[in-house]
Amino acid sequence: MKKIILILNHVTAGMGSDENAQLPPSGKKAALGPGRTLNPLFQEQDAQIVATLYCGDQYYHEHQEEVNKKFVGFAKKFDADAVLCGPAMHYPNFGEMAAGLTKVFNAQGIPGAAAMSEENPAVAIYAKDIYILKMPKKGGIGLNDSYKKMAHVVSQLAHGKPLTEADQDDLF
């Protein structure tokens, strides 16, 4: 069973809304927030979410080096096979955090992908550098299908399998 780390911001991890945007990095050995829906989908792909890492997206923007170092350290400690950063939907701060962290994980040899909607400004900035999975804006129609695709693509990365043409269609 491949080990997946889920990366969320403070809101999607269930740690409050904008008043907690300065939440420092933390994590739990559990699937939090959307991870509860994603984990059974990962298990169908012989993978599972072993931990959820999270922090406030404003904290991330003001302390990127610190968060990058801590999250990569956590992922290595858990011997992660891949990471999923998001789903960030259309939220710009979370999109920037998810895409930035995905790029850092990939540079450290840990495959991963971010997930967000096309309205997220991070898509235009990072789509040429990392895998960004398509998803609807603010959890709209097609959310369940996008969760299945997230689990499939990130599991493929965890298993070291190349992405198919159909997988590529699910990316920006």
Domain 2-169 fold:
Rossmann fold (3.40.50)
Return mean pLDDT, the chain: 96
Question: In this predicted structure, what is the pLDDT of residue 18?
Answer: 85
Domain limits of the chain? 2-169
Residue environment code for 21-55, b if the CB has 16+ CB neighbours within 10 A, otherwise e: bebebebeeebbbbbebbbebbeebebbbbbbbbb
List, for residues 8-25, the tens digit of each pLDDT value. 999 999 998 988 999 999
Task: Report yes or no on whether pTM surpasses 0.75.
Answer: yes
**CA pair distance 56, 76, nearest whole angstrom:** 21
pLDDT in tens, 45-103: 999 999 999 999 999 999 999 999 999 999 999 999 999 999 999 999 999 999 999 99
Instruction: Check residues 16 and 42 and name the one with the higher pLDDT.
Output: 42
Q: Is the pLDDT of residue 144 over 70?
A: yes
Q: For tokens 């999270």, what's the residue?
A: 54
Task: Decide: 63 and 53 in contact? Cβ < 8 Å.
Answer: no
Cα–Cα distance between 4 and 17 in angstroms, integer? 25
